[in-house]
Amino acid sequence: MRTDRLKLAANLTRPLLALVAAFALTTLALLSTGVSPLEAYRLVLFGAFSTPVRLSDMIMLAAPLLLCAVGLSITFAGGLYNLGVEGQMIAGAIAAMVPLRLWPDWPPLLLWLLAGLSGAAGGALWALLIGALRRYANVSEIFAGLGMNFLASGLALYMVLGPWRRQTSASLSGTDLLPRDLWLPTIDRLRLAPAAPVIALLALAIVWWALTKTRWGLEVRAVGLNPAAAGRLGVAAFRRMAETLAACGALAGIAGMLQVVAVHHALIPNISSGIGLLGLLVALLARADPRWLLPIAVAFASFTVGSIQLPLTLGIDSAIAGVLQGALVLFALVARARVR
């Protein structure tokens, strides 16, 4: 009994210490700029809830962020570090634009469905290229993913300045806006498209069920623990790895589609806005556990939206939210390493 209590106390103490260390590091960074840490934390932690518009912005950021984090939880379960999620999100956004530009007169509901399917297919195929490089060229998915991110960014820039350039003149601000009928419906006077968080929550529920309640999920986790042993037990290890990459890419591609039809209403060069890499931090902090992905994704989205007020209010860069997010992940990983 005493041993159990000590283990429980240790399990509660380690996350708390990581949290304290992260805030201590961020506080030092704030003090070096000469601003009040309390005022900065007030804006970062609660700024996203100060007005309905900011709250809607936070939700619209949390939706694609959650989709990417959920997808990464699948690849982490399969033992893969899919750092190419950013490129898969961009590829999904480009693919989603294809039916929207080819058939703009079709019924909006049909076009949204086609855009979602195209985005998922684009992201999945982009991810499978990483799997092919690992399988046939012996290139780590980490390096392949990073390289594919740059390639996807270049492709998006080419489409914006080339084939899909604005009718007046090419512009780095993006393509022409989609017809307003093709924008995902939003709540009046807000920038909130209710379909976006619904899609993200549905994806979270499906992935949680697939990983924990199905034979497929069991095999994926077995491959993640030991591919060779799983193979000896009859599990098609590479096939499961490819499926996890495709599933992650599909979810990231849907996130890219939402950026097109619900946020920017066009393709812009920076369509991913760093959401894929932020999703990587969410998945790392949650240890790829689907139960923790939602609260952490909401927290990180709140930090990001709240920090936007820092330059105007305190005269400091909004990147301080990234310092806090990165410190949380860093010290959480240090705590886990100490346990091991």
pLDDT tens digit sequence for 160-192: 988 998 877 656 778 899 999 999 999 978 889
Q: For tokens 């990587």, what's the residue?
A: 280
CB 250 within 8 A of CB 121: yes
Q: For tokens 């909401």, what's the residue?
A: 298
47: DSSP letter? G
Q: What share of the chain is helix, strand, coil (3-state, %, to 5)?
A: 75, 0, 25
| Residue 257 within any structural domain of the chain | yes
The count of other CB atoms within 10 Å of the CB of residue 50 is 14
| Residue 82 within any structural domain of the chain | yes
| Residue 338 within any structural domain of the chain | no
| Residue 294 within any structural domain of the chain | no
d(CA 310, CA 48): 12
CB 300 within 8 A of CB 281: yes
Task: Tell me the percentage of the chain whose pLDDT exceeds 90.
Answer: 57
Q: Read off φ and ψ for residue 35, nearest 5 degrees.
A: -110, 165
Q: Which has the higher per-residue pLDDT, 141 or 67? A: 67
* Averaged pLDDT of the chain: 88
Q: What is the pTM of this model?
A: 0.92
Highest-pLDDT range among 22-26, 246-250, 300-304, 309-313: 246-250
Closest CA to 123 of 252, 8, 211, 222: 252
Our count of domains for the chain comes to: 1
| Residue 339 within any structural domain of the chain | no
Cα angle 76, 307, 142 (rounded to 5 degrees) comes to 25
Task: Identify the three-state secondary structure at position 267.
Answer: coil
| Residue 36 within any structural domain of the chain | no
Closest CA to 261 of 315, 196, 328: 196
319: DSSP letter? T
Looking at residue 12, its pLDDT comes to 55
Looking at residue 312, its pLDDT comes to 78
Looking at residue 26, its pLDDT comes to 84
Q: What is the DSSP string of 169-230?
A: ---TT-SPPPPGGGSPP--TTS---THHHHHHHHHHHHHHHHHHHSHHHHHHHHHHH-HHHH
| Residue 192 within any structural domain of the chain | yes
Q: What is the domain range of residue 93?
A: 62-287
CB 85 within 8 A of CB 227: no
| Residue 103 within any structural domain of the chain | yes
Task: Identify the three-state secondary structure at position 286.
Answer: coil
Whether the per-residue pLDDT at 323 is higher than 90: the answer is: no
Looking at residue 11, its pLDDT comes to 55
